[in-house]
Amino acid sequence: MKRNYLHYITKARIFVATALIIVITVLLRYLNEGFLPIGKLPYQYMTIQNTPSYLLDILPLTPPVLLLMASVSAFLIIILGYSVLTRYIREDMVLVGLILFAMSPVFISMILLPTGTSLALVCLLLAWYLYPHTWLAVLLYALIPLIDFYGGVMAAIVYLPFAKYHKTKKIIPVVLVPGLLLYLYHPFQTFPPRFGITELGAGIGGGAFLLLLVIIGFAHVWEYKRTYWYIFLTLSLTLLLTFFHSYLASYLILGLSIIGAYGFLSIIKRNWALREIKHISLFLLALGLLFSLMSYLNEVKSDPPTDEIAESFRPIAGTAGTVLSDDEYATWIRYFSHKEPAYGHGENTSVFHTRSLERAESFMRQEKVSHVWVHPEMLEGAVWQAPDEGLLFVLSADSFEKIYDQQIQIWSFLAFQQVSQGQTI
Amino acid sequence: MNRKGVTLVVIFLVFLAIRLLFAFQAETFSDDESYFSLRQVEAITDSGIPLYEDSLSYGGRIQLFCPLFYYILAFFNLFMPITLVGKLIPNIIANTVIFSGYLLVHDITRNQRLSLIISGLVASVPIFFSQTFNHISSLVLVFPLSLLMMHAFLNINKSKTYTKIFIASILVLSLTHITAYVIIFGFLAYLLLLRLENLQQTKAELEIILFSVLFVFWTQFIIFKKAFLEYGPAILLQNIPRQVVETQQVLVLDIITLVGILPLLGGMYIIYKYSFKEKKRPIYLLLAFFIVLAVFMTTNLIPLSIGLIFSALLLTILFAQSVKLSLLFIDRSKFSHLRGLMILFFVLAYGLTIFVPTLHFSAIELDNRLSESEVEAMHFLKNHTEQDAVILTPYILGHFVAYNAERTTVADGNFLLIENINQRFEDIREMYQTDFETKAIELLNKYDIDYIYISDRVKDFYGIRQVGYVTDQDCFQLVFEEGDIQIFKSICDLK
């Protein structure tokens, strides 16, 4: 009997597999670093720093709530994705596409790095799902830019294939304009991870084996480029935007997973001349996809901020003054210590490398530095190369006292402490 | 066994005898990598696993490499002494290029007698012979296997046996050496060439290439996961330091002698002929590999020595077709009665341009072997220095020190995952070349170096007459001197 494995891929199994991936991901993170989301954007939401999400900035969020929100969003994307995509594409292809998406590294990052972008994707899919009820769909559409600026831009872009398919001339994306305009008064900044192939060190993106399937898929669908030009155009625009704002990788990889599914099905359904290697090839492919997933999960399960970082701020949380550290840690300093980071307008770097006590103290008085927070990575090349280099040498002076000495070290600037206790410097 | 088989075995035995004759003239090996191999084999024999966590290399690091070749040697080490294993097994494996060369030449020329002659020539390519007879390197397995894989690929439609041979070959190759990716790019280039020439690839060809891509990607991602994450696509550059790349330049004259003028001219002629005039699939396959190697060598994506050996083997195989065409031409010309004379001329010309350079380069390699005084110095380091002592040598002696002296080194020929490698190599050069004692001590302190190893080999490597600052007896004690070798203990710290 001809085996093609497709009967194993059912709707229920895909949903269960997705749920398992989500649970395992959250559990692994919890066991390693607690319920702390990775990256900086979630902590920007929680400290109400201007982010691309107007709505998340004003909501009272906590790390576990964010993780829960991201997990539910990820699951909803799969369910809604199935409901919406099966209207346009063959069910087997949608199912394979969705499991490829769920097994891709970007899906893991959607769970552990909660952003408005994936919440906006849920809203977009829900709007499409409710489409015949136009007013509800339009309402959801209008909500998207409030959830995420880039989600709003994407909603406008993906409307093109939608309108072409449904032959509708209603310009629904107009409802996005007020939401997008809001960001003129709500300027934002993001620190997205590097987009690319995760096995090659990218912080967010797809796996190498998915890419391989996408290439095979494209080789097959390329002949339809004239008929479905708008899909190719939408994907190209999404790819372009993703390079600027890597959180959009979730939109891109979802689209590419469907193309990858085409590649996967073409391998399965192909009449192989060498039957003996068909099964090994499919096995290798499955292992490769699994390898991408496991390898990424293994990397991000202990990504910063770690439990150790959170714990180190406990002794200084809520005290007066600022914290001097590498700019890289500014967002986490603000969230965990409830203090402002002292990253001194370009002068910071020179302070790290000065061996002059006078100069260092002058900077610290000016910036109201109460503590110096040093992560091991700063000692291993991120800031300093040698153990007594620059400010590290200065810290051994009597003006400083080491108050935290684990892998992370914290020095208290005694002169500031005296001032805050009413004495003069 | 038929007559052809017997002849092939005789050719194999003759060349093996020549190889062993050369190899056993030296007790030591001709390159540093051999000692890395010996360390791995011993580690596998002792514990069952290779030294992935190496405390001696670069002051302690994680090694990334494909382990299969070392397991093969470790198997023989169970019932043979390690030096015998190191001399015998790599030579036997390298010499199997005769069989795979024969098969591939036969695929191209369909001429048994010519295939037999060329198979012997393949084994005697100067750069291949001289770089493999006294070396323990996993590359000796890569070359015959790659040719065997090409043979299986060309015959993939004929029988299931070829599919099995191909699968087995790619399995072994992926677990043997990082350069397995060259094979993948070679096959992809072959597909591209077929497209450009409007030739249709067969279903089986496409499927086996897809399988190879999947398998090699998969194994390489697993073995070199850390390096992939660290370097991204730049892993192909293998973190080879700038200073090493700069020394890899080879003159055209060297290429002619290392490859052999006849295979070079004959091979190039075939490339020209089949690129522009005629279409022949087997030649396109070799041409695709040749193009990939040329691109990789010029962009430093493959070490020059590996690329040159591979190219030389391919050119020699392509050369077979030019010999066939030449003989056909003679047969059709008015000089057909001089055929025997022409063959004699060809054999003499080949002898002069191939066997003479082979003997010459092999003699050079034998001269390059590590001398008895160098081994003696290693015994001194092993027996008279602290167990955690760090020894300064150029990278070309790193594995040699680690194996023989069992002491920590500052650098060796495995560059993957070493941070700031260019700076480190620059510092090592500076430690040997500088005249300023304070600079030298600063760098010696930076790498916690306890002993400085100086020999003629080191001086030649850095182009120096002597290391100037070691004359200060307050900071540097001469602890060993024999022949051209001196070992100084560094005793000063820079405050």
Q: Which residues contact B15 (CB under 8 A, 6 or more apart)?
A: B95, B98, B120, B123, B124
* Chain-centre distance for alpha carbon A265: 29
Minimum Cα–Cα distance from B162: chain A residue: A274
Cα angle: A262, vertex A252, A247; to 5 degrees: 150
Q: Is A284 on the interface with B (CB under 8 A)?
A: yes
The answer to whether the Cα torsion of A127, A73, B229, B145 is positive or negative is negative
Contacts of A197 in chain B (CB under 8 A): 232
**pLDDT tens for each residue of chain B, 495 residues long:** 688 889 999 999 999 999 999 999 988 898 899 999 999 999 999 999 999 999 999 988 999 999 999 999 999 999 899 999 999 999 999 999 999 999 999 999 988 888 998 888 899 898 999 999 999 999 999 999 999 999 999 999 888 899 999 999 999 999 999 888 888 999 999 999 988 888 888 889 999 999 999 999 899 988 998 888 888 888 888 888 888 887 776 667 777 888 888 888 888 888 888 877 777 888 999 999 999 999 998 888 888 888 999 999 999 999 988 888 888 888 888 878 887 887 788 778 877 888 888 888 888 888 888 888 899 999 999 999 999 999 999 999 999 999 999 999 999 999 998 988 999 999 999 999 988 888 899 899 989 999 999 999 999 999 888 888 888 888 899 999 988 899 999 988 876
Q: Is A295 on the interface with B (CB under 8 A)?
A: yes
Structure confidence at residue A421 (pLDDT) = 62
Task: Residue A210: name the closest of A135, A125, A290 by CA.
Answer: A290
Q: Pick from A274, A379, A385, A388 the residue to mutate for testing the B interface (most B CBs within 10 Å).
A: A274
Q: Is A276 on the interface with B (CB under 8 A)?
A: yes
Order of strands across the sheet with B408-409?
B408-409, B390-392, B451-454, B485-490, B476-482
Residue A345 has pLDDT above 70, yes or no: no
B351: exposed, middle or buried (C-beta count within 10 Å: 0-12, 13-18, 19+)?
exposed
Structure confidence at residue A1 (pLDDT) = 44
Q: Is A59 on the interface with B (CB under 8 A)?
A: no
Partner-chain residue, chosen from B157, B214, B419, that has the shortest CB–CB distance to A281 = B214
Please give the ipTM for the structure prediction: 0.80
Helix, strand, coil abundance in chain B, percent, nearest 5: 70, 5, 25
Cβ distance A291 to B221 less than 8 Å, yes or no, reads yes
Structure confidence at residue A348 (pLDDT) = 53
How far CA A164 is from CA of A153, A161, A170, A230, A258, in Å, comes to 18, 5, 11, 8, 19
Structure confidence at residue B1 (pLDDT) = 66
Q: What's the half-sphere exposure (Cβ side, CA atoms, 13 Å) at A262?
A: 15
Contacts of A271 in chain B (CB under 8 A): 203
Size of interface A-B (CB pairs under 8 A): 73
Residue A424 has pLDDT above 50, yes or no: no
Structure confidence at residue A133 (pLDDT) = 67
* Model confidence band, residue A111 (pLDDT cutoffs 50, 70, 90): very high
Contacts of A202 in chain B (CB under 8 A): 232
Structure confidence at residue B259 (pLDDT) = 80
Cβ distance B207 to A272 less than 8 Å, yes or no, reads yes
| Most confident region among A158-172, A329-343, B3-17, B464-478 by mean pLDDT | B3-17
d(CA B26, CA B87): 10
Structure confidence at residue A136 (pLDDT) = 83
Partner-chain residue, chosen from B202, B218, B229, that has the shortest CB–CB distance to A288 = B218
Partner-chain residue, chosen from B167, B211, B217, that has the shortest CB–CB distance to A208 = B217
Query: Mean pLDDT throughout A248-262?
Result: 94
Structure confidence at residue A137 (pLDDT) = 84
How far CA B114 is from CA of A303, B203, B264, B271, in Å, comes to 62, 31, 18, 19
Structure confidence at residue B459 (pLDDT) = 92
Partner-chain residue, chosen from A199, A273, A299, that has the shortest CB–CB distance to B203 = A273
Which single residue is written with the structure tokens 């790819």?
Answer: A239
Cβ distance B231 to A201 less than 8 Å, yes or no, reads yes
What one-letter code names the amino acid at B112? Q
Minimum Cα–Cα distance from B446: chain A residue: A386
How far CA B390 is from CA of A347, B397, B398, B416, in Å, comes to 40, 13, 11, 20
pLDDT tens digits, A117-151 = 989 999 999 998 887 667 888 888 899 999 999 99
Report the predicted TM-score, pTM, of the whole model to 2 decimal places.
0.86
Which single residue is written with the structure tokens 């993106």?
Answer: A205
Three-state secondary structure call for residue A354: coil
Structure confidence at residue A2 (pLDDT) = 53
Residue A155 has pLDDT above 70, yes or no: yes
- Closest approach of A109 to chain B, Cα-based (Å): 17
Query: What's the whole-number average pLDDT of chain A?
Result: 87
Structure confidence at residue A425 (pLDDT) = 42
- Closest approach of A144 to chain B, Cα-based (Å): 35
Contacts of B225 in chain A (CB under 8 A): 199, 295
Partner-chain residue, chosen from B157, B228, B419, that has the shortest CB–CB distance to A200 = B228
Minimum Cα–Cα distance from B168: chain A residue: A277
* Model confidence band, residue A309 (pLDDT cutoffs 50, 70, 90): very high
- Cis, peptide link before residue A305, omega less than 30° from 0: yes
A 298-337 near B (Cβ less than 8 A): 299
pLDDT tens digits, A178-215 = 888 888 888 787 788 888 888 888 888 999 999 999 99
